[in-house]
Chain A
């Protein structure tokens, strides 16, 4: 009797969550697959009774798009460049933080700051720092911006980073700097947490054996931290393939410098561009993205299974 009463009570507690999840999470999974398989699916036309050709036409169309290949290329490049850099840098910072006493808390707080910022807003600050003001292809700029000023003060030559006429790799360089800046806090937090949990005896043993600092780092620290490293690499890859808002922050909705819109667009950007006018194609692109993320995560898990020491 009491057990039965509990049954419906539990479902009552779960009701709001289940209703919302059914409408906004479960249904989308099926509907997105359905839309992706109907050629040029259009909602209004569907309500009007139109039928759509069933098959993989949307996928074929998406893959043959030059715009899509640009997006895919940008996404893959940004991911494979920024994930190793930010992971290595975060590891070095975490190890350094773990081996100092004085000011350690203050450094930790500073390094965490980028995490609690709005990535669109700070992207605009990076844009301001890298951009030149005024001037055209032939005329001298009024101001070359703070970063170029620093470069020239160090004896370098200024570069057109983000303005009209800037080249692809200059744009990418700014994006890489910004994405790494943004990705560091989470990785430092996780890796430092891991380091603080490491038993000090391992280090004492290494010291007693007369191992050098470098050797200790590669043979003790990295293996002991490998579960956390695997964790930040996997989440880094997943986040990297969904990169979008840092590019919007710096270059705006045009996803590229003035005069070259879309040149820095990503997979997610491609999907959002297609949502309103061709949901079928957007669905196909989203499923391709999901497949890529799934495959990369599986490879990551497979590699880490072999390499991670628990």
Chain B
């Protein structure tokens, strides 16, 4: 009986070979299929390679342009490899009007301080939402999540008015405090904390461990990957932020790196034309740290990103 069913379904599944077809012909057909399969694979690799070149080309162009002399860069036919390597462009980028050293210092101060403060605030809030019981917990959490739907521009207008009134314009504070709390990070960490079994907490309580100690000794080590993701995304945010810093702290002592980079003119004094090689050298200096972070923390970045959809 079962054999019968099998026979029927086999016939349905495999198209029956045309009458008179010999085994050798079938082998020929399967050979043809293999060839098609290989061709399809080659097609895929060609497609992916073309896209990869398109993705990489701007990086390549940035690197080689940053090493060209201005004359070579302005040549009628652009060269695909520098004839002579002019490392002096990097010196120009550092010593020119850009003041990259100061920009780096400002960005690192803002990045490190805001990351540390943000981690403290995020850990405390996530812990309260994940482990402590209090009235209105769920309502408050839902309200926080609701604020995530509102575009940031809406906050920026009032925040500009607020920080002006506080007298915070052109300080480090204005770059650090207003966007310190991220509801998304609180949410991310709370989800992570919730996965840690409650039994651990109860056991710690029985042993007389305080909440803070439990948080520090158990929760934080167990959710280290999420904390690393948050740290990296927050640092990258400081490095890439442009709109808010330009609005509130666009002075030499507090300007962040992206604002400085876009603001500098890179005009060659002799010709009055844009000195693209020096500009590209500055772009390389700004891009390299990001690429290094990516190489070392790829896993953490991709994990954080796939859940957020927010750049930087």
Contact = CB atoms under 8 A, between A and B. Distances in A.
Interface string B118-148: 0011101101100011110100100010010
Contacts of B164: 43
B85 interface: no
A124 B279 contact: yes
A293 B151 contact: yes
B128 A13 contact: yes
Interface in A211-244: 213, 231, 235, 238-239, 242, 244
Contacts of A128: 61-62, 65, 276, 279-280
- Categorize the interface residue count of chain A: 35 or more
A225 B44 CA distance: 20
Interface in A160-211: 181, 184, 186, 189-190, 193, 208-210
B301 A242 contact: no
6 contacts: A25-B155, A113-B55, A133-B73, A143-B78, A279-B157, A283-B157
Contacts of B120: 16
A152 B229 CA distance: 45
A65 interface: no
A184 B51 CA distance: 11
B124 A129 contact: no
Given A13-B124, A272-B247, A279-B160, A120 B311 contact: no
Interface stretch (A29-37, A49-57, A72-80, A302-310): A29-37
Nearest to B76: A143
A252 to B, nearest CB: 7
B306 interface: yes
B159 interface: yes
B21 interface: no
Contacts of A43: 161, 164-165
Contact of A107 (B48, B73, B279): B48
A3 B132 CA distance: 10
A189 B59 CA distance: 20
Contacts of B155: 24-25, 28-29, 32
B302 A189 contact: yes
B40 interface: yes
A20 interface: yes
B55 A114 contact: yes
Contacts of A99: 41, 44
A99 B45 CA distance: 10
A186 B157 contact: no
A295 interface: no
Contact of B151 (A89, A113, A275, A289): A289
A162 to B, nearest CB: 12
Interface of A: 3, 6-7, 9-11, 13-14, 16-17, 20-21, 23-29, 31-32, 35, 43, 89, 92-93, 96-97, 99-100, 103, 107, 109-122, 124-126, 128-129, 133-134, 142-146, 149, 181, 184, 186, 189-190, 193, 208-210, 213, 231, 235, 238-239, 242, 244-245, 248-249, 252-253, 268, 271-272, 275-276, 279, 282-283, 286-287, 289-290, 293-294
A255 to B, nearest CB: 12
Q: Which of A118, A119, A144 has the most CB of B within 10 A?
A: A118
Contact of A93 (B41, B48, B78, B287): B48
- Categorize the interface residue count of chain B: 35 or more
A103 B46 CA distance: 12
Given A128-B279, A143-B76, A121 B121 contact: no
A146 B128 contact: no
B280 A29 contact: no
B77 A149 contact: yes
Interface string B257-282: 01001100000000001101001100
B177 A20 contact: yes
Interface of B: 13, 15, 40-41, 44-45, 47-48, 51-52, 54-59, 61-62, 65, 73-78, 120-122, 124-125, 127-128, 132-135, 137, 140, 144, 147, 149-151, 153-162, 164-165, 177-181, 183, 186, 211, 236, 239-240, 242-243, 247, 258, 261-262, 273-274, 276, 279-280, 283, 286-287, 290-291, 293-294, 298, 301-302, 305-306, 309, 311
Contacts of B311: 115, 119, 186, 239
Given A20-B180, A28-B158, A282-B157, A129 B76 contact: no
Contact of A110 (B52, B78, B149, B247): B52
Contact of B309 (A119, A145, A235): A235
A163 to B, nearest CB: 11
Contact of B161 (A14, A21, A31): A31
Contacts of A107: 48, 52
A266 to B, nearest CB: 11
B283 A125 contact: yes
Q: Which of B65, B154, B183 has the most CB of A within 10 A?
A: B154
A32 B181 contact: no
Contact of B159 (A11, A24, A93, A271): A24
